[in-house]
Amino acid sequence: MAETLIKQLLGRGEEVVTEVTNRLLSNEAFVEMLKKGIAVKEVVDGQVAVALKRMNVATRRDLSRMEARIAALEAELEASKKAPARRKPVRRKAG
């Protein structure tokens, strides 16, 4: 019973959201403001990226590369721990 009520409420909520969205998107003034908002966001995002680069802050891409490098180094370290130890040859002094 509770599931049915929840499904009905979700269905009605989806209908309301769809109706409001359709009304907003049919309003040309709203669509123009939305376009301007998106354009401003792109400019702001670009400026933030420039500022972060100037401050030498690592990007997500940089962090991903570092994480991959750390994982590779950890794997090498583990492999070297498991490999049999090699002895260095003893050098004898001539004379």
pLDDT tens figures, 3-28? 899 999 999 999 999 999 999 999 99
List the one residue out of 8, 38, 12 whose CA is nearest residue 20: 12
The pLDDT, as a whole number, for residue 95 is 60
Q: What number of helices (H) and strands (E) belong to the chain?
A: 3, 0
The pLDDT, as a whole number, for residue 8 is 92
- Alpha carbon dihedral 17, 21, 22, 27, in 10-degree steps, equals 150
Q: Provide the pLDDT confidence category of residue 83 given band limits of 50, 70 and 90.
A: confident
Please say if the pLDDT value at position 88 is more than 90.
Answer: no
Q: To which H or E segment does residue 3 belong?
A: helix 2-26
How much is the pTM?
0.50
The pLDDT, as a whole number, for residue 85 is 66
Q: What is the mean pLDDT of the chain?
A: 91
Please say if the pLDDT value at position 86 is more than 70.
Answer: no
Better pLDDT: 89 or 1: 1
Please say if the pLDDT value at position 34 is more than 80.
Answer: yes
